[in-house]
Amino acid sequence: MKKSFKGRPILAGNIEGEALVTKNGFNTYASFFTSIHLPSDKAICADSSNRELYGKNLAAKIICLPNTTGSTSGGAVWQRLVRMGNAPKAMLFSQKIDSLGAGGLVVADIWAGKRIYAVDQLGDDFLETVKEGDRLVIKEDGTVIIRD
Amino acid sequence: MINPDNFKIKLTKEEKDILQGSQGETMQKILETVVCYGEALGAEKLVAINGYGHFVITYAIPGIAPSMEMLANLAASGLKAKYPFTLDPKPPLDFENWFLTAEQVKTLEQMYEDQERYDEIMLELGLRDTDACTCTPYLPEVGNIPKREDILAWSESACAIFANSVLGARTNRTGAIMDLLTNIVGKTPLSGLLTDDGRRAAWLIKVETEQLPLPQLLGAAIGKKVLADVPFIAGLDTFLGPGLNENTRDYLHEMGAACATAGAVGLYHVQNITPEAVDYGTNLLVPNHKTYIIEDRELDELLSSYPIPWPKEDALPEKCFIGCPHLSLQQLHWWTEKITGALQKENRDQLPVKTTICAAPQVLRAFQADGGTYELLKRTGAKFSVGCPMQIFDNDLSSGEAIVTNSNKLRAYTTARFFPDEELVDIITSGKIKEEH
């Protein structure tokens, strides 16, 4: 059965993709520490503190997370990933987006010219329900559908 | 064409005009970025920044800096920050202080091939002076010390949390690039830690340890627990005493750096110590706040949970980096006393572990001017740098090396192994790690 959640579109659009999930904070700088320096079409998560994502390829995936954490250098990481072509497809926040995530994603959108779609305030229930590998449909009004 | 009426955020006439191009295309794009950022944060309006900036964007290497194309465009448009700014530490291009191989030097030179041009552009954009680069801009020798209730848009998580918590200024955790853009506009969204509500504490943290906990472990434990919330920390004044002094300042700057790394904490209050906690006490706690008790056992478990990130776990330590965040003058004296005392006990003159100690340029100059103590530490073979050890790990530059540190932030991002200060002194003066590790 399809499950649907309604959030607030931050960087809106209609897309589909595959979910990766972390229930802990997503440390942007630590996660992409290796992939921002070594050109690749992959973005292997380098944050050894994040047991759910460590070693997984984040490129072109939809990352489901509570919020971003860690160093403010993380703000610049998004535009670099977009320019390199190994950015995640979308970021789905269960909480209200944090200042670091918001700033970085907006800068990448306006200055690097390619959107990483973002929806926030999807709620704890969304993060409890969505599983790694789920096919997700994101609508421009902030609706997120977990497909069968 | 941007239609300012499409935004929910309240805009002034001047802001609307800029969005429609009254101050040129580049300024229009910058303000659009800041307004979209404000919309994402749910801000009611933009407010004026009224103090010097501090930004994380020191490095020319792609990934953690704005693109050169973007910076060149900003400078060519004649734009600069409304107030002068300080930056994070310079890249480690003072090769002689880092015990590097010829291959490592070559890689660093390639990574930072644009650094000279980058530094020039930063000066054009408003960098206070060429030496204004440290992660402790608020030390008296450096002198970027915000006043209470100043409105800022600071980045560098360790600096933002210190400005908010210890100095009582108001800044959100601004990300790299957005730091520069907001400070060029001279405005930042009124949201989060800029508001009275955003500065109230959702957690009561009770420190119930036998002794003063290691700041970089306590900070990590708190950050991991509260993530982005504001903690109100009780019990530290038992050890540190009330109010702020140099010891407490140094303790809090280390605790805050670890707290901001392990979570997304931008502000903490410490009962009877930090300015808002002194003024408002437990009234800063929101109703139905959560409580978390920290005992010694919990911190011991956290320390032992850190994996050994070296390829050969029983390797002898080769290098040591101290000063992330940068050391204060007082801390430089502490390390000198500890290191020289321990070397004497070991019957050695020189440190068997290649050690680099980092501090702000102005602090290092003051230390050198001190004469005797500086010479004592220098004679042990320790090197001094105004740079940042983090970049020694970029591009797998130090992979395979057995590096030790007292920085929990460095541990979190690199393959350096973390040890409490006193243990680190034993390690770098004996060349060995005790067996229980």
Task: Examine the pLDDT at B437 and tell me if it is beyond 70.
Answer: no
User: B302 and chain A: CB distance < 8 Å anywhere?
Assistant: no
Q: What are phi and psi of B339, to 5 degrees?
A: -70, -45
Per-residue pLDDT tens for B318-365?
999 999 999 999 999 999 999 999 999 999 999 999 999 999 999 999
| Mutation for testing the A interface, residue in B118, B157, B199 having most A CBs under 10 Å | B157
- Which domains does chain A carry? 3-146 (3.50.30.10)
| Interface check B325 vs A, CB under 8 A | no
Segment 39-78 of chain B within 8 Å of chain A by CB: 40-42, 56-57, 61-67, 70
Q: Which of B67, B155, B264 sits opposite A75 (nearest CB)?
A: B155
Band of residue B67 on the pLDDT scale cut at 50, 70, 90: confident
Contact B250, B286 (CB under 8 A): no
Which of B259, B289, B304 represents a domain boundary (last residue)? B304
Query: CB distance B175–A99 less than 8 Å?
Result: yes
CA nearest neighbour of B175 among A69, A116, A74, A27: A74
The percentage of residues in chain B with a pLDDT greater than 70, rounded to a whole number, is 99
* B233 and B358 fall within a common domain: no
Question: Model confidence over A90-134: pLDDT tens digits?
Answer: 999 999 999 999 999 999 999 998 999 999 999 999 999 999 999
Q: Are residues B299 and B314 in the same domain?
A: no
Whether residue B224 is contained in a domain is answered as yes
Whether B93 and B119 map to the same domain: the answer is yes
Whether B235 and B340 map to the same domain: the answer is no
Contact call for A99 and B307, based on CB within 8 A = no
pLDDT band at B1 (very low <50, low <70, confident <90, very high): low
How many whole angstroms separate alpha carbon B86 and alpha carbon B53? 6
Quick one: average pLDDT of B418-434? 96
**What is the percent of chain A with per-residue pLDDT over 70, rounded to a whole number?**
99
Residue A142's pLDDT is what?
Answer: 98
Pick from A51, A99, A93: which is nearest to A74 by CA?
A: A99
User: Are B204 and B190 contained in the same domain?
Assistant: no
Percentage of residues of chain B with pLDDT beyond 90: 85
Name residues whose C-beta falls within 8 Å of residue B164's C-beta, 6 or more positions apart in sequence: B170, B171, B193, B199, B266, B267
The pLDDT-based confidence of A33 (bands split at 50, 70, 90) is confident
| CB within 8 Å: B177 and A70 | no
Tell whether B39 is covered by a domain.
yes
| Residue B417 belongs to a domain | yes
Nearest CA distance, B352 vs chain A (angstrom) = 30
Task: Tell me how close the Cα of A24 comes to any Cα of chain B, in angstroms.
Answer: 9
Buried-exposed string B162-189: b where 16+ CB fall within 10 A, e elsewhere: bbbbbbbbbbbbbbbbbbbbbbbbbbbb
Q: Report how far residue A20's alpha carbon sits from residue A88's, in angstroms, rounded to the nearest whole number.
A: 10
Q: Count up the domains in chain B and report the number.
A: 3
Interface contact flag, A69 B228, Cβ < 8 Å:
yes
Task: Return d(Cα B408, Cα A75) in angstroms, integer.
Answer: 21
pTM score: 0.94
Q: A82 phi and psi, to 5 degrees?
A: -60, -45
Contacting residues of A for B89, CB less than 8 Å apart: none
Same domain, B173 and B294: no
Tokens 């998580």 sit at which residue? B157
Non-local (6+) Cβ contacts of B125 within 8 A are B71, B74, B75, B79, B80, B81, B180, B184
Q: Considering the domain boundaries, does residue B435 fall inside one?
A: no
The encoded tokens of residue B340 equal 């020289």
d(CA B271, CA B238) in angstroms, rounded, equals 10
B51 lies in a domain? yes
Q: Are residues B408 and B365 in the same domain?
A: yes
Residue B436 lies in a domain: no
pLDDT band at B435 (very low <50, low <70, confident <90, very high): low
Q: Do B36 and A110 touch (CB under 8 A)?
A: yes
Of the pLDDT bands very low, low, confident and very high (cuts 50, 70, 90), residue A1 is low
Would you call A75 helix, strand, or coil by DSSP? helix
- Residue in B414, B227, B401 with CA at minimum distance from that of residue B315: B401
Indicate whether B290 and B315 sit together in one domain: no
Q: What is the pLDDT of residue B12?
A: 98
Q: Which residue range is the domain that position B96 belongs to? A: 4-194
In this structure, is residue B437 part of a structural domain? no
CA distance A71 to A32: 12
Question: Are residues B251 and B399 part of one domain?
Answer: no
User: Which carries the bigger pLDDT value, residue B358 or residue B312?
Assistant: B358
Any chain A CB within 8 A of the CB of B173?
yes
Average pLDDT over residues B377-406: 91
Tell me, what amino acid is at B337? E
Instruction: Please check the confidence at residue B171 and state whether its pLDDT lies above 60.
Output: yes
> For the domain that residue B174 is a member of, what is the CATH number?
3.30.499
User: CB distance A71–B157 less than 8 Å?
Assistant: yes
Identify all chain B residues contacting A77, using CB atoms and an 8 Å cutoff: 63-64
A100 touching B (Cβ < 8 Å): yes
Give the Cα separation of B338 and B315 in Å (integer).
24
Residues B147 and B251 in one domain: no
Q: A42 touching B, CB under 8 A?
A: no
Between residues B437 and B157, the one the model is more confident about: B157
pLDDT of B271 over the 90 cut: yes
- The span from the CA of B298 to the CA of B306, in Å, is 13
**Which of B28, B37, B71, B188 has the most A C-beta neighbours within 10 Å, making it the best mutation to test the interface with A?**
B37
Residue range B24-38: mean pLDDT, rounded: 97
Judgement on whether residues B217 and B163 belong to the same structural domain of the protein = no
pLDDT-derived band at B161 (thresholds 50, 70, 90) equals very high
- Decide which of B238, B272, B304 is a domain's last residue: B304
Q: Indicate if B102 and B226 belong to the same structural domain.
A: no
- The Cα B276–Cα A39 span in angstroms is 46
Residue where one domain finishes, among candidates B194, B215, B243: B194
B234 part of a folded domain: yes
The amino acid at residue B383 is K
Per CB-CB distance under 8 Å, the chain A contacts of B156 are 72
ipTM: 0.97
